[in-house]
Amino acid sequence: MKILNTILGAAAFATAGVIASAAFAQTYPTRSITMVVPFAAGGPTDTVARLVAESMSKDLGQQIIVENVGGAGGTLGAGRVANADADGYTVLLHHIGMATSATLYRKLPYDTLNAFEYVGLVTDVPMTVVARKDLDVKDFKGLVEYAKANSDKVTVANAGIGAASHLCGMLFMSAIETPLVTVPYKGTGPAMTDLLGGQVDIMCDQTTNTTKQIQGGTIKAYAVTSPERLAIFKDIPTVAEEGMPAMQVGIWHGIYTPKGTPAEANERLSKALQVALKDPNIASRFAELGTLPSPETDGTPAALKAKLESEIARWEPVIKAAGQYAD
């Protein structure tokens, strides 16, 4: 009898669980969602997040509010989301730094592969190697010569160790076998302000942040990190053309939720992301900034999980060989 009661009890518990999750799936989301961007406002990750959040909000029928939690190359914001309530109302939009920080930091306040659930991939953005407008250097080769000759005073801005700008700067220094002076910011939004003001010399940043400035002639551009030249910058050579194929890097972005977030919430968010990825308004705004939305089929938890795992494996040996650590 006791066994029968236990079985009936377990069955009732399971049924209640199914009903509760079906009810959750039908009503979620019932209030606004916070999207943490782990870099300062006005930078490239922020720009991508705000465009995608606006489109996803329309599909979800609830607002996604972007919150900038910059610092420590994106790891502060990621840590905030890792510790947030796993209720579907806090999400993280992060880039390749999610993968590289797993090696760059020997100790992180979260376990990258076990602290998050996955929603999907958002976009892949090339980087540009840029400098302040009055840097007296004509081309990429000149930049390399100048950096080598002035290594103790050439300053390279980045968004902290673990950021995409840090990775790209590290690849540059490793390719020219010369360490330069790095200047960390909470994001490349504020770093761009200083590059425009001439307080720093060089930066490597996503086209999302540099396109308008390059087109306006307010900064100089020397190379792109994509395998091919970009349609919007036909006259800017690729790093491979400049003899530095090891600097090739694409900055992918993904959306995560804290571990334990109900699968129904991740699936709903993923569906809204897929709608955003097909949104013609997003496609045209991204195109103006030299980027493309991820294909709709990559706006899924499985695609982001596979990407994160493969990128951790890809960058681990590169970072270890460069011997660069944050701690």
Q: Which residue's CB is nearer to ligand ASP, number 43 or number 88?
A: 43
| Smallest distance from ligand ASP to CB 165, Å | 3
| Smallest distance from ligand ASP to CB 141, Å | 25
What backbone torsions phi and psi does residue 65 show, to the nearest 5 degrees? -100, 125
106 vs 300: CA distance, rounded Å:
29
| Smallest distance from ligand ASP to CB 98, Å | 11
Region class of 228: left (phi > 0), else alpha (psi between -120 and 50), else beta = beta
| Smallest distance from ligand ASP to CB 53, Å | 14
- 129, burial (CB in 10 Å: exposed 0-12, middle 13-18, buried 19+): buried
Q: Which residue's CB is nearer to ligand ASP, number 167 or number 277?
A: 167
Nearest residue to ligand ASP by CB is: 43
Contact indicator for 75, 162 with CB cutoff of 8 Å: yes
**What 3-state DSSP class applies to 66?**
strand
| Smallest distance from ligand ASP to CB 136, Å | 25
Kindly give the interhelix angle for 44-60 and 207-216, rounded to the nearest 10 degrees. Answer: 120
Q: Which residue's CB is nearer to ligand ASP, number 86 or number 92?
A: 92
Q: Which residue's CB is nearer to ligand ASP, number 40 or number 119?
A: 40
Contact indicator for 137, 131 with CB cutoff of 8 Å: yes
**What 3-state DSSP class applies to 155?**
strand
Contact indicator for 79, 92 with CB cutoff of 8 Å: no
| Smallest distance from ligand ASP to CB 202, Å | 13
* DSSP label of 253: E
| Smallest distance from ligand ASP to CB 34, Å | 18
Number of CB atoms found within 10 A of residue 13's CB: 9
Q: Which residue's CB is nearer to ligand ASP, number 96 or number 282?
A: 96
CA 12, 15, 19, 24 torsion: positive or negative?
positive
Q: Which residue's CB is nearer to ligand ASP, number 73 or number 88?
A: 73
SS3 letters across 6-47: HHHHHHHHHHHHHHHHHHHHHHCCCCCEEEEECCCCCCHHHH
| Smallest distance from ligand ASP to CB 70, Å | 7
Q: Which residue's CB is nearer to ligand ASP, number 25 or number 66?
A: 66
What backbone torsions phi and psi does residue 129 show, to the nearest 5 degrees? -95, 115
**What 3-state DSSP class applies to 204?**
strand
Q: Which residue's CB is nearer to ligand ASP, number 60 or number 204?
A: 204
Residues lying near ligand ASP in the complex (CB under 6 A) are found at: 39-40, 43-46, 95, 97, 158-159, 163-165, 187-189, 205-206
Kindly give the interhelix angle for 97-104 and 75-82, rounded to the nearest 10 degrees. Answer: 100
